[in-house]
Structure 1
């Protein structure tokens, strides 16, 4: 996968950002409204809290930027950046490799080159806890990352369950 992986991701992001209708000088991007992004992040935090874990949940939009962050009451400081990085990784790499979670990316061995160079990109974090935000037709709206539970598998379960609960509203 190596450098080809990084090149593939970069070319897919460029293609996605420059895609437009034939003859139209305007590019439009589908994304969640701020209200729905906030609801999704809050749902992930609530689900984890019901399970006894205080977490931070981040939503990234199709530009890869943070759209919403909801921080639980007693999460450690690093959960802010980690939740964003999980959301970013789930979005950027899940879109390219058609994987719905960071765990699925890891299982498919989409973790960068053997020398680890891909892992030096500041936003990339191949750790369970990120999920691609998709509509029912599998079109992509962004990424959701959760951090703070005692294990990435638990973070990811909260993210996936929040998506199941909120995704019917992704019309």
Structure 2
């Protein structure tokens, strides 16, 4: 091995060690319980103004439930649907309405609909700020996914300013 090739080999080894010596941990941001509650209340109120009795769920970035509110006449099914819409939005980092369009029968991602907990219907939104996923919000019980989606957007709008950094 020539001195020149030895230097190149040493430089390559040092670069490889530097790449593997990166930090072994990272930081993430999550919604506070207070922010999750504010978002859920705002979504519920928006739906009430439209005359809809719904359930609203807010999950953290891992999909774990933080807040669940069900209006007094919200159907029994709305609790599970709202939780699963919030979970789906956080898991896929997209709105459940967008996921519904992308997973129609015959589309390449159609199989996603067969996964447990996945809800491919409007009403779930990812909660994001500064390019980071913070959680998800799901609404169920309004007539149609568009109405559920509108309530979910209202919930996010209620906390958006406090999320930006």
Q: Same fold (TM over 0.5)?
A: yes
Contact 1:91 1:132 in 2 (8 A): yes
1:70 is paired with a residue whose SS is strand
In structure 1, the partner of 2:16 is none
> What is the aligned partner in structure 1 of residue 159 from structure 2?
166
| Superposition TM-score, scaled by structure 2 size | 0.77
Show structure 1 runs of 5+ residues with no match. 1-21
Gapped regions of structure 2 (runs ≥ 5): 1-21
Determine the structure 2 residue equivalent to 1:13: none
In structure 2, the residue corresponding to 1:127 is in which secondary structure? Answer: coil
For 1:6-155, list aligned pairs within 5 A.
22-24=22-24, 26-93=25-92, 95=93, 99=94, 101-107=95-101, 109-110=102-103, 117-135=111-129, 137-155=130-148
**1:58 aligned counterpart, secondary structure:** strand
User: Cα RMSD between the aligned structures?
Assistant: 2.2
Q: 1:165 offset after TM fit, Å?
A: 2.4
Closer, same or farther: CA 111–58 of 1 in aligned 2, 3 Å? farther
> CA separation in 1, counterparts of 2:85 and 2:53?
17
The answer to whether the Cα contact below 8 Å between 1:88 and 1:123 also exists between their aligned partners in 2 is yes
With the length of structure 1 as denominator, give the TM-score of the two structures: 0.75
